[in-house]
Amino acid sequence: MESQEKEYKIVTFQKDYEDAWDQFVLQESCNGCFLQTRNFFNYHSEGKYLDCSLMFYRKDQLVAVCPACEIREGDDKVFSSHSGSTYGGIIVSSDMMRAEKIIKLLDEFEAYLTEMGFTKCVLKQTNPLLDRLPAELLEYCFYYRKYREYKELNLYIDFDHYDKEDILKNFSKLKKRLAKKCISADMEVRELIGKDDIRRFHEVLTDNLQKYHLKPYHTVEDLLDLKKRFPRDIEFWGCVYDDKIVAASMVFLFESGNCAHTQYLAADSEYGKLSPMTYIYYKMIDIYKDRNIRYLSWGITTEHLGLEINENLTNTKEEYGSRHNITKIYEKEL
């Protein structure tokens, strides 16, 4: 379905457009990453989400995409950043970084959504650490177009401002002591490869989430599929003690922002007194600083659009010498 607007042609995504979409996100956009590719979305079973993603053309040139799905809130139809990925939002080319272009795009985008019967729009933008080019102009234009702004708190390591010669110097006294305890216990961290390793990772993750009365978002089969789709962009690491994986991490690698992101960090509760969780944090820092990665992101510590903060989790991540940045969510009634 296409709009009849003059400046931009808005096209609903179809499967035939997958290659063009992925090339734009990975090669031409200034704020896209592999989490917004169709290759990533396709690991979800068909029909799991009601996809309503959009592609924006200007003079027959693809200049923006918006991965999205339709969500129902009672009788209201909500256009929302795709629930199958961490980040959605509007992804644009560097050529679009002019105020008049973005404002015009938002005008026509909102008119299109209204025409399609949507009553609200919710957009979760890419975390700035992953952007190829600064995207503050988008933030201003959302403000200009009167979107409500929500903020999620993300913590990360900036290796350009970190003591890489002695990692433990960056830690709090408690984390330094716990890390030394793990080192003395001869724990080791190795990359997890193969089905058995990934299954054990999932067991550790499941155990870790049970204390919060939660279950993993991904199944074992999901994780294996994702690793197959993105062999260079997704890694699994396990902390081994007494020949058993007692803590683990799943890491996303983003060339666009020279950033590694720990999607999951988990430890077996049976070994809590040894604090293998501290050791997996320590080793993630050690591994990625040696690869000359600029940023190591720990993820958010807030819930419900940032309106609630997990103070214990925030404090824990801060104790490794972390900095703070913001992931922004924009919402507007149409």
* 291 token code pair: 């690869």
Helix (H) or strand (E) holding 22: helix 18-23
> Percentage of residues in the chain with pLDDT exceeding 90?
88
Map residue 12 onto helix, strand or coil.
strand
**Tens-digit pLDDT profile for residues 219-248:** 999 999 999 999 999 999 999 999 999 999
What are the structural domains, with CATH classification, of the chain? 9-146 (3.40.630.30), 155-326 (3.40.630.30)
Instruction: Summarize pLDDT for 41-83 with one digit per residue, the tens.
Output: 999 878 788 999 999 999 999 999 999 999 999 999 999 999 8
What pLDDT is stored for residue 212 in this prediction? 77
- 5 band by pLDDT with thresholds 50, 70 and 90: low
Instruction: List, for residues 16-35, the tens digit of each pLDDT value.
Output: 999 999 999 999 999 999 99
- The chain-wide mean pLDDT, for the chain, equals 94
User: How far is it, in rounded angstroms, from Cα 36 to Cα 88?
Assistant: 7
With a cut of 80, say whether residue 6 has pLDDT above it. no
Q: 115-132 pLDDT, tens per residue?
A: 999 999 999 999 999 999
Sort strands 188-191 and 61-66 into parallel, antiparallel or unpaired.
Answer: unpaired
Residue 127 CB-half CA count within 13 A: 26
Q: Are 281 and 269 in contact (CB under 8 A)?
A: no
Burial class (CB in 10 A: 0-12, 13-18, 19+), 4: exposed
Q: Is the pLDDT of residue 257 over 90?
A: no
Q: What is the pLDDT of residues 283-330, one digit of tens each?
A: 999 999 999 999 999 999 999 999 999 999 999 999 999 999 999 999
CA 145 from centroid of its chain's CA atoms: 25
* C-beta atoms surrounding 178 within 10 Å: 21
274 token code pair = 């040894």
Tallying the residues shown for the chain, one arrives at 334
Residues 178-187: pLDDT tens digits? 999 999 999 9
Sheet holding 91-92, edge to edge: 9-12, 54-58, 61-66, 91-92
- The angle subtended at Cα 84 by Cα 4 and Cα 73, nearest 5°, is 70
For residues 202 and 215, the model is more confident at 202
Look at residue 3 in the predicted model and tell me its pLDDT: 45
Helices (H) and strands (E) in the chain, counts: 9, 16
Whether residue 290 contacts residue 274, with contact meaning beta carbons closer than 8 Å, is answered with: no
Q: What is the DSSP letter of 92?
A: E
